[in-house]
Structure 1
Amino acid sequence: MLRKLGFTLLWIGAIAYAFGFAPPDRPETFSLIQNLSTGNWEGINPAIVALFNVMGIWPFIYSAVLLFDGRGQKIPAWPFAIASFAVGAFAILPYLAVRSPNPDFDGDKNPLLNLLDSRGLGAFLSVGAVVLLAYGVTQGNWAEFAADWQSWRFIHVMSLDFCLLSLLFPALLHDDMARRHLTRPVVFWIVALVPLLGPLAYLTWRPRIESRQ
């Protein structure tokens, strides 16, 4: 109960901060999102390009865990997984607030679950993330990014969303490891303590779940 209450309060707090305390937004936010989404990146800080596209990788990481976890929940996980592609951690937090521990998986895997369970997906996402991180770190204007973070709600909240997604993943990791009969604590802590690349390495390495009736 305390765990669920904690996630609920964190969700409410994140929404309150994003709309009540984060820096004001700018008129050019919509055009920036449009250009980022369509690949029209000319003139955009590569650090922002990298962050925006990495935020598109996180929902796949969560989906690869959520949809297995949701098989045994009273409330299905797929609406939260879909919503996370648009609002990130703001969709994950309410799921964490209503879910119950679920270290088992019963039944057959459908084609979507087979795809999400494949190591190939983890490897593909990992390559994409490494390329994006290298691009952002080496080409990005970080002084400009810091200034935007302090004065632009879109950049500010997107950055905090990345941090939240990194911090929340361990809340689902323990049960996913149990479903795969992984019991080594060192694996949990390596994945939990390395943002983005830790979860991606886990998706690439973790054993597949066998269908069970």
Structure 2
Amino acid sequence: MGRKIALWLVWVGFIAYVLLLAPPFHLEETLTLIKNLLTLQWADINAIILTIFSLVGIWLQIYCCLMFIDGRMQNIRAWPFLLAAVGTGVIGLLPYLALREPNQEFSGRKDGLLKLVDSRSTGVVLLLSTVVLLAYGLFVGDWEDFIAQFQSDRFINGMSLAVCLFAVVFPTLLGDDMARRGLNNSGLFWTVALVPLLGPLAYLCLRPPLPESSDRSVQQTVTSTMR
């Protein structure tokens, strides 16, 4: 219960911050920036802003690699929240994290989507993409311009903080995903949880595949439980 309350407070608090305390919102400039980002017109965009925008997408894919599996075992499905997160970022994900119940089991077969998000290759691709993005932002970006925009533009400010918030709430899914794979290692948990972004990406690259169970074994388990 404490976890759920904390997540709801984070959700409400972040929305309140963005609406009430963040820098002013410049609608025309923001719409132009989003259009240029989505249409690959990046020549006049600060590399740091482009990197942060791309890292939101990286974080969403990291969460996909856990939430689609987790959602199989929940009363609620993950995909509506992930779809909402495409437009709202971490704001769309937090309600799922607050509503889900702890579950350290997985039953049934993996379909094509689950095999994709469970694959180590997916983690490797995300890790390599992230390293390139971080290097691009670090060495090409204009930090003085970014700080000025962070302090004066609500979209840049909120998007930057959302990238940090993705990392803060990631451990709420990590423990159950590790348990499903037989990784009962508190040291590993805290290493992944406390290394922002690269920790979760390394985990996706190295975690063992999720064990499957046949429909017959699942039925036997259900029957024995009913007895």
What TM-score bracket applies, with the shorter chain setting the length? over 0.9
Which residue pairs with 1:109 in the alignment? 110
Distance 1:132 1:82 in 2: 23
Q: Does 2:161 correspond to 1:160?
A: yes
Q: Which digits, 9 at most, give the CA deviation of each residue in 1:41-71, with x for residues without a partner?
A: 0111111111111111111100110111111
Who is 2:221 aligned against? none
Q: Determine whether 1:8 maps to 2:8.
A: yes
Within 2, Cα distance between the matches of 1:131 and 1:22? Answer: 30
Give, as a single letter, the amino acid of the residue that structure 1 aligns with 2:60: P
CA distance in 1, matches of 2:16, 2:116: 36
Give the paired residue count: 213
Stretches of structure 1 lacking an aligned partner (at least 5 in a row): none
- C-alpha displacement of 1:4: 0.9
SS in 2 for 1:86: helix
Normalising to structure 2: TM-score of the pair? Answer: 0.91
TM-score computed with the length of structure 1 as normaliser: 0.97
Q: Which residue is 1:199 aligned to? A: 200
1:49 aligns with 2:50: yes
Alignment of 1:30-179 (within 5 A): 30-179=31-180
- Distance in 1 (CA, whole Å) between partners of 2:182 and 2:101 is 19
For residues 70-103 of structure 1, what are the alpha-carbon distances to aligned partners after superposition, in whole Å with 9 as ceiling and x for unaligned?
1111111111122222222101111111111011
For the pair shown, the structure with the greater C-alpha radius of gyration is 2
Q: Give me the identity figure in percent.
A: 51
- Residue 4 of structure 1 aligns to which amino acid in structure 2? K
Between the aligned partners of 1:89 and 1:186, the Cα distance in structure 2 is: 27
Q: 2:6 is aligned with what amino acid?
A: G
d(CA) in 2 for partners of 1:207, 1:143? 42
In the alignment, the residues of structure 2 paired with residue 120 and residue 86 of structure 1 have an alpha-carbon distance, to the nearest angstrom, of: 26
Other-structure match for 1:22: 22
Paired with 2:107 and 2:85, the residues of 1 have a C-alpha distance of 25
| Distance of 1:199 and 1:92 partners within structure 2 | 17
Distance 2:205 2:87 in 1: 24
What is the CA deviation profile of residues 14-43 of structure 1, one whole-angstrom value per residue up to 9, with x for unaligned ones? 111111111111221011011111211011
More displaced 10-residue stretch of structure 1: 82-91 or 193-202: 82-91
Query: Unaligned stretches of 5+ in structure 2?
Result: 219-227
Q: Deviations over 1:113-154 (max 9, x none)?
A: 000000010000111100000000001111110110010001
